Chains A and B, each alone.
Chain A
Amino acid sequence: MQEITVDGAYLAELRKGSPKAFEELYLRYFRMVEDMVFKFNGTAEDARDVFQETLFVFVKKLREPDFTLTSKASTYIYAISRNLYLKKAGKTTVEISMDQQQFSLFAQSEPDPEGLSPNEKDSMLSVMNDKLGQLEADCRTVIMYSFYQGLSHAQIAALTGYTEAFVKVKKFRCLEYLRKLVKATDIFKNL
């Protein structure tokens, strides 16, 4: 298997959500995960589900500004998928075949939203998708780079072609606009 090179250019594509960058992960690592799932008597559907969940955890962590891979991507992907699958399949013994400290970082990457019931989560998601959808595309992009992916002004500037000063002004201007939009909704009114 040819390993993916996680360099600045590839990370930039992942941060942008480039379909090609995600396809690369499928082309290189899907079969490995599928083999693992089959080994544990899982189905092709299980393999697809687990691979999607694995990529979510892997990419989210990889996109963090200060995160550096210390092993091959395949090592992480295999360990994450194996743990996810064994957990899903109700196996009691979960083996972690990667550096414990690194894995604990991945394990923390999808916290439960604090104090939200599934219904509240759905309502909030619906409000946010609606209000984010009302923003100009460049506003939404800057907000997501800054407040979701946690990128610095310099990193956002490199991805968007704006100056750092412009990014700083824009991100607060866009956030202010988004705040005004959500404040008018029931879910944000009751604070």
Chain B
Amino acid sequence: MENHAYIERIHRYLADTMDPVEKAAFEIEMNANEQLAKDIKLEQKLLLGISLAGDEDLKKVIADTDERLSAQRFLQRECHFNQC
């Protein structure tokens, strides 16, 4: 799976950005080509994994911000904009 155009095509299919004609042709090809079907499954799982990791990163940035501001007592009710 080194070919960029091949991968891009799979990604466009997974993102549902193909026009109906291209999508129909791609699905016929997918049903006839076992390797393509396998590669689609792999890309789907890979992109899902990236998405899960990205969500986790974002949650961590937010949680770290919460912890940092909590340590600075910003989140305590009596401390607003550093006025305690």
Residue numbers of A with Cβ under 8 A of B are: 17, 19, 22-23, 26-27, 30-31, 34, 44, 48, 51-52, 55-56, 59-60, 110, 113-114, 116, 121, 124-125, 127-129, 132, 143-144, 147-149, 168, 172, 175-176, 178-179, 182-183, 187-188, 191
Contacts and interface: CB of A to CB of B under 8 A. Distances in A.
Given A17-B58, A26-B66, A172-B7, A179 B50 contact: no
Nearest to A49: B66
- Report whether over half of chain A's contact residues are helix, strand or loop; otherwise say mixed: helix
A56 B42 CA distance: 27
B12 interface: no
A164 B56 CA distance: 27
A59 B59 CA distance: 10
Contacts, number: 103
A17 B61 contact: yes
A172 B46 CA distance: 13
A55 B55 CA distance: 12
A114 B48 contact: yes
A60 B58 CA distance: 8
B76 to A, nearest CB: 8
A49 B59 CA distance: 11
Contacts of B81: 27
Nearest to A58: B62
A175 B7 contact: yes
Contacts of B50: 128, 132, 143-144, 147-148, 178
B53 to A, nearest CB: 4
- Which one of A148, A178, A182 has the greatest number of beta carbons of chain B within 10 Å? A148
B69 A23 contact: yes
B53 A132 contact: yes
B52 A113 contact: yes
Interface in B1-19: 1-2, 4, 7
A176 B10 CA distance: 14
Contacts of A172: 4, 7
B77 to A, nearest CB: 7
A-B complex: 5 closest residue pairs judged by Cβ atoms = A148-B54, A128-B49, A22-B65, A128-B53, A17-B61
Contacts of A149: 54
15 contacts: A17-B57, A19-B64, A22-B65, A27-B74, A44-B75, A48-B75, A52-B62, A56-B55, A110-B55, A124-B48, A125-B53, A125-B56, A147-B50, A148-B51, A191-B42
